[in-house]
Amino acid sequence: MIRIHSLNVRYKTERGDVHAVRGISLDIQQGQFFTLLGPSGCGKTTTLRAVAGLEAPDEGEIAIGDDLVFSSARRISVPPYKRDIGMVFQSYAIWPHMNVFENVAFPLREMGRKFSKREINSKVRQALSLVQLEGLEDRPAPFLSGGQQQRLALARALVKEPRVLLLDEPLSNLDAKLREETRLELRELVKRLGITTFYVTHDQLEALTMSDVVAVMDQGRVVQEGSPMEIYQSPKERFVANFIGLTNFLEGRVKGFCPKQPRLGEIETASGTLQCVLPDGVGPGESVVMVVRPEDIHLGTGTPPQQGNVLHGRVEAIIFMGEALECQVAVGSQRLRMKLHPSSGVRQGEAVTLELPPERCRALRA
Ligand SMILES: Nc1ncnc2c1ncn2[C@@H]1O[C@H](COP(=O)(O)OP(=O)(O)O)[C@@H](O)[C@H]1O
Ligand SMILES: [Mg+2]
């Protein structure tokens, strides 16, 4: 539905060129909820604006459905209003001098095609009912709450019934509780409408909870693309592991493969020999960094398991997080973070045994 091929965008500034997007290629399927996730400044907004036609790329191609809307080689650049898209900006960009009705009607009035008054009325009301703002048509836009303004921006993006919705951090101005509720509502709405959604966020939880596919971006490039579970459970690079969720890193060197489980290897670390999943093509002698999530580390029960990774340490810090305890355990010179149930009863200073299931430990190339 949206095809981006070898997209490059540079900004000319007084201090030289900023190469904001560096050869990105993405293929977003019809009806998919696709998220670009990355830290501030990595090029997410630039990519989205290029798809909308608000930014002129230097190189590459962009197609929306069967329409080639940008091609540097063929000198094609379709203007924004002729692309079949709706867009919500981080700031919402709703018009403060208009009421709710006029804000939503605006894109219809702006279109080349003329709609009758009745058609406009019915389309606006339908869009407002999708976002549950019916009854507020006459309210001046600034007199809406933050959550209502966000939904107004969404109604305005949907009123033309575009095939593609582009959303740039649309929830970032909402407070935490509302943001959480809106995540699910928004996903359900676009799924119900069957609209292809290209979403941009720096918020990993939004990306994991809303998306069919997540592309993680760093410094103008896509470093990994996959389902939320793949991205979280099988990060292929240190950057991805570090950016998404909390992670423990243990440096090591590959000793060899486990005889009975060829998928697993043994690595030598400062905390002893550990078994873990090795990346393809990595063999003995190579430097790796092992990644294990806090929720995958368990407290030992006393009887050490026959197989697997067992470490001994001392509890250094316990942080109460409400639904969980984050427990920091000193193991040799390392500090490992683990997640425990608040009822677990561990105490600061206590000597503990940790079990790290080998299949949950993943080595990455160092
Ligand atoms: N209009 C602009 N002029 C110059 N540099 C820009 C402009 N817009 C963005 N940039 C730079 O391009 C890079 C990517 O920005 P952006 O796409 O906004 O990142 P993100 O949305 O991921 O935070 C950043 O280094 C940013 O400073
Ligand atoms: Mg941005």
Mean pLDDT confidence for 321-338: 94
Protein residue with its CA nearest to atom 5 in ligand 1: 11
Alpha carbon separation from 248 to 280, 356, 363 (Å, rounded): 21, 11, 11
Give the position, in ligand 1's atom list, of the atom nearest the Cα of 45.
21
Ligand nearest to the CA of 38: 1
Give the position, in ligand 1's atom list, of the atom nearest the Cα of 48.
17
Domains in the chain (CATH in brackets) are 2-242 (3.40.50.300), 246-365 (2.40.50.100)
CA distance 354 to 297: 7
The amino acid at residue 41 is: G
List pLDDT tens digits, range 112-166. Answer: 678 899 999 999 999 999 888 999 999 999 999 888 998 999 999 999 889 999 9
Protein residue with its CA nearest to atom 17 in ligand 1: 43
List pLDDT tens digits, range 29-67. Answer: 999 999 999 999 999 999 999 999 999 999 999 999 999
List pLDDT tens digits, range 273-301. Answer: 999 999 988 889 999 999 999 999 999 87
Protein residue with its CA nearest to atom 11 in ligand 1: 20
Task: Please tell me the distance between residue 42's alpha carbon and the centre of ligand 1 in angstroms.
Answer: 8
Q: Indicate the helix (H) or strand (E) that contains 164.
A: strand 164-168
Helix, strand and coil content of the chain, in percent to the nearest 5, comes to 25, 40, 35
Q: Which two tokens stand for residue 355?
A: 């079990």
Protein residue with its CA nearest to atom 18 in ligand 1: 45
* pLDDT number for residue 304: 67
Nearest residue to 356 via CA among 311, 290, 323, 289: 311
Give the position, in ligand 1's atom list, of the atom nearest the Cα of 42.
22
Three-class HEC string of 191-250: HHHCCEEEEEECCHHHHHHHCCEEEEEECCEEEEEECHHHHHHCCCCHHHHHHCCCCEEE
Question: Ligand 1: which of 8, 9, 10, 11 to mutate, most ligand atoms within 8 Å of CB?
Answer: 11
Mean pLDDT confidence for 186-194: 93
CA distance 68 to 53: 12
pTM of the model: 0.90
Task: Please tell me the distance between residue 200's alpha carbon and the centre of ligand 1 in angstroms.
Answer: 14
Contacts for 302 with CB less than 8 Å, ≥ 6 apart: 353
* pLDDT number for residue 348: 94
Give the position, in ligand 1's atom list, of the atom nearest the Cα of 220.
14
